[in-house]
């Protein structure tokens, strides 16, 4: 297959199926990179419908995909020499797991695309392979009832599809498990880092200003001289929460994300205090703020992680959010007092 | 890699062995290997591994599994709280957050 892949040109027809390559072009890779660093459009879609990779025939396997371009690209780039059909379901441009959780990758949407593409006329067998992570939205037995197609859950990762098919549609226990290795966690950081940028900027602006407070009023010179310590602590807390905590996620003894973040926030503020050799009141006030920011940002990473439950996050938030608010408020008051002293 | 575990004993997952036929679908659907089949019945190996995604209950045709599903995302809970709704995230939509 040498067909050049171009997302604009991808228009699957119900009779004329579009071919796509299992090789990614530079445009695909750059698009993916932009998504990772958060500059691309978030809904980066593939038109729903039936695609072919290689030269599939009426016996070839049918792989089901979300219509989020990154999901689709990861899938097709893992197919090398396979001749298969890809059925792209309209998941509103959202990835498999999230769209399944939200109900867009569902029994209904799979049934709908099976009907729309008249797949039963194109293949003789009655078997489709779904990504395992669509299982929270798609009920295999209902797809079977409504269409006659046996919906099999393939492996979690697209790279295991070949071995899965070769093993006679059997996944090893490892293929069924979601992992969350450092590399995957690192990929999520840029987007998460920018997520709370406005709150970060507001805090930075506020403490820049507060640095100039004095018993005599407001001193511009004092602000210019002393803003560095609070601003670095704020930034340090932010980084502790959304860069260091995710990277070292499994290696901190606590299970609650808010505590993991607080641990790194405390560590980093201690280092910053050391470097700046500030008076104790300044150190404590900014320390509380740094810890609170780190804890909050780490807690926000629960949504990006692959193993936190709603009940669990609710439980930790119940105690963590009051603490975070108290730390910020007390820290700010102490900071102002340290300026007026 | 080390397995990551979340908070202890909070997941709402429940299995009714009387309704279970041992078909094994839950072991195929669950991304955290929470189930195993022992003597023709499903069994929960470690409740703390469950992230309440609902893949198992959605694919159990006898209704042997119940779980209160949702996404373990603090941002979604905050959004829901501020808007007075159930946890709701905008991920994959306008916002740039990685969660769902
Ligand atoms: S899917 Fe339901 S019936 Fe089948 S093994 Fe699991 S619990 Fe039992
Ligand atoms: S809810 Fe999800 S994580 Fe929990 S047991 Fe079911 S499939 Fe596994």
Q: Is B2 an 8 Å CB contact of chain A? A: yes
List CB contacts of A275: < 8 A, sequence separation 6 or more. none
Of A92, A100, A313, which has the smallest distance from its Cβ to B73's Cβ? Answer: A313
In chain A the domains, ranked by start, together with CATH numbers, are 18-178 (3.40.50.11600), 183-340 (no CATH)
* A306/B59 touch (CB, cutoff 8 Å), yes or no: no
d(CA A294, CA A229): 16
Q: Is B23 an 8 Å CB contact of chain A? A: no
Q: Model confidence over A238-288: pLDDT tens digits?
A: 999 999 999 999 888 889 999 999 999 999 999 999 999 899 999 999 999
Output the pLDDT for position A179.
87
* B77/A317 touch (CB, cutoff 8 Å), yes or no: yes
Residues B1-21 have a mean pLDDT of 83
Least confident interval from A40-44, A186-190, B8-12, B42-46: A40-44
Output the pLDDT for position A7.
38
C-alpha dihedral sign at B51, B53, B55, B61: positive
Q: Is A215 an 8 Å CB contact of chain B? A: no
Q: Is B26 an 8 Å CB contact of chain A? A: no
**Atom number, ligand 2, closest to the C-alpha of residue B30:** 7
CA B58 to chain centre: 10
List CB contacts of A14: < 8 A, sequence separation 6 or more. A49, A50, A116, A117, A118
Contacts 24+ apart (CB under 8 A), A197-201: A200/A234, A200/A235, A200/A238
* φ/ψ (deg, to 5) at A214: -155, 160
With cut-offs at 50, 70 and 90, classify the pLDDT of residue B98.
low
Q: Is A94 left (phi over 0), alpha (psi -120 to 50) or beta?
A: beta
Mutate to test the pocket of ligand 1, among B13, B14, B18, B24 (most ligand atoms within 8 A of CB): B24
CA A317 to chain centre: 20
Residues B27-49 have a mean pLDDT of 94
d(CA A59, CA A56): 8
Q: Which residues pair with B35 in a beta bridge?
A: B44
* CB of A293 closer than 8 Å to CB of A273: no
Q: Is A331 an 8 Å CB contact of chain B? A: no
Output the pLDDT for position B42.
95
DSSP assigned state of A241: I
* A94/B5 touch (CB, cutoff 8 Å), yes or no: no
List CB contacts of A196: < 8 A, sequence separation 6 or more. A238, A242, A297, A300
In chain B, what residues touch A99 (CB-CB under 8 Å)? 92, 100
List CB contacts of B24: < 8 A, sequence separation 6 or more. B37, B42
DSSP code per residue over A105-166:
SSHHHHHHHHHHTTHHHH-SS-EEEE-GGGGGT--HHHHHHHHS-EEEE--SSGGGHHHHHH
Output the pLDDT for position A253.
81
Residue ranges of A 106-165 with Cβ closer than 8 A to chain B: 132-133, 135-141, 153, 156
d(CA A126, CA A5): 29
* CB of A303 closer than 8 Å to CB of B74: yes
Interface test with B, best of A309, A312, A314, A320 (most B CBs within 10 A): A309
What is the nearest CA distance from A173 to chain B, expressed in angstroms? Answer: 8
Q: What ipTM is given for this predicted complex?
A: 0.87
Name the CA dihedral angle for B88, B77, A238, A269, rounded to a multiple of 10 degrees: 180
DSSP code per residue over A33-78:
HHHHTT-S-S--B--SEEEEES---TTS-EEEE-SBHHHHHHHHHT
Low-confidence ranges of chain A (pLDDT < 70): 1-17, 31-43
In chain A, what residues touch B2 (CB-CB under 8 Å)? 250-251
Secondary element (H or E) of residue A85: strand A84-88
- The three-state secondary structure class of B17 is coil
CB environment A88-104: b (16+ within 10 A), e (fewer): bbbbbbbbbbbbbbbeb
What is the nearest CA distance from B51 to chain A, expressed in angstroms? Answer: 4
Strand order in the sheet with A18-19: A18-19, A49-53, A84-88, A62-65, A127-130, A150-153
Q: Model confidence over A96-120: pLDDT tens digits?
A: 988 898 889 999 999 999 999 999 9
Of A308, A310, A315, which has the smallest distance from its Cβ to B87's Cβ? Answer: A310
What is the nearest CA distance from A318 to chain B, expressed in angstroms? Answer: 11
User: What architecture (CATH level 2) is domain B14-68?
Assistant: 2-Layer Sandwich (3.30)
Output the pLDDT for position B28.
96
In chain A, what residues touch B77 (CB-CB under 8 Å)? 310, 313-314, 317
C-alpha B1 to ligand 2 mean position (Å): 21
Domain locations in chain B as residue ranges: 14-68
In chain A, what residues touch B28 (CB-CB under 8 Å)? 132, 135, 153, 171, 176
Output the pLDDT for position A121.
92
Q: Is B67 an 8 Å CB contact of chain A? A: no
List CB contacts of A32: < 8 A, sequence separation 6 or more. A70, A73
Alpha helices in chain B (DSSP H): 25-29, 55-58, 74-83
> Bigger pLDDT: B100 or A225?
A225
Output the pLDDT for position B7.
84
Q: Is A199 an 8 Å CB contact of chain B? A: no
> Bigger pLDDT: A338 or B87?
A338
What is the nearest CA distance from B67 to chain A, expressed in angstroms? Answer: 11
In chain B, what residues touch A304 (CB-CB under 8 Å)? 97-99
List CB contacts of A300: < 8 A, sequence separation 6 or more. A192, A195, A196, A241, A242, B74, B75
**Atom number, ligand 2, closest to the C-alpha of residue B49:** 3
């Amino acid at each position: 297959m040498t067909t050049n892949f171009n997302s604009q040109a991808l228009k699957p027809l119900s009779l004329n199926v579009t071919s796509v390559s299992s090789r990614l072009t530079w445009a695909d890779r750059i698009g993916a990179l932009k998504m990772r660093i958060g500059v691309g459009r978030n809904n980066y879609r593939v038109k729903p419908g039936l695609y072919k990779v290689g030269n599939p025939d009426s016996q070839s396997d049918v792989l089901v995909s979300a219509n989020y371009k990154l999901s689709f690209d990861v899938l097709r780039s893992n197919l090398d020499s396979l001749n298969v059909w890809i059925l792209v379901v309209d998941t509103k441009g959202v990835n498999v797991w999230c769209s399944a959780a939200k109900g867009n990758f569902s029994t209904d949407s799979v049934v709908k695309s099976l009907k729309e593409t008249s797949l039963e006329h194109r293949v003789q067998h009655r078997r489709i392979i779904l990504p395992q992570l669509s299982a929270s939205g798609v009920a295999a037995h209902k797809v079977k009832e409504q269409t006659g197609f046996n919906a099999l859950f393939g492996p979690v990762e697209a790279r295991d599809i070949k071995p899965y098919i070769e093993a006679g549609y059997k996944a090893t226990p490892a293929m069924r498990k979601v992992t969350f290795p450092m590399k995957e966690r690192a990929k999520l950081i840029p987007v998460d880092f920018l997520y709370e940028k406005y709150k970060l900027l507001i805090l930075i602006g506020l403490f820049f200003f507060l640095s100039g407070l004095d018993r005599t009023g407001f001193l511009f010179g004092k602000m210019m001289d002393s803003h560095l310590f609070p601003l670095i602590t704020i930034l340090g807390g932010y980084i502790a929460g959304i860069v260091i905590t995710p990277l070292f996620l499994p290696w901190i003894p606590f299970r609650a994300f808010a505590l993991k973040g607080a641990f790194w926030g405390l560590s980093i503020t201690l280092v910053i205090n050391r470097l700046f050799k500030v008076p104790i009141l300044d150190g404590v006030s900014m320390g509380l703020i740094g810890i609170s920011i780190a804890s909050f940002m780490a807690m926000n990473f629960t949504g990006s992680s692959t193993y936190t439950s709603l009940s669990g996050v609710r439980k930790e938030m119940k105690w963590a959010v009051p603490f975070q608010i108290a730390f910020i408020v007390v820290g700010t008051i102490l900071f102002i007092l340290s300026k007026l002293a | 890699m080390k397995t990551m575990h979340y908070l202890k004993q909070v997941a709402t997952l429940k299995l009714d062995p009387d309704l279970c036929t041992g078909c094994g679908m839950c072991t195929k659907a669950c991304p955290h290997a929470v189930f195993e089949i022992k003597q023709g019945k499903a069994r929960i190996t470690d409740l703390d591994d469950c992230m309440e995604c609902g893949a198992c209950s959605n694919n159990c045709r006898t209704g042997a599994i119940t779980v209160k599903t949702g996404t373990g995302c603090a941002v979604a809970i905050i959004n829901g709280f501020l808007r007075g709704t159930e946890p709701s995230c905008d991920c994959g939509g306008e916002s740039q957050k990685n969660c769902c």
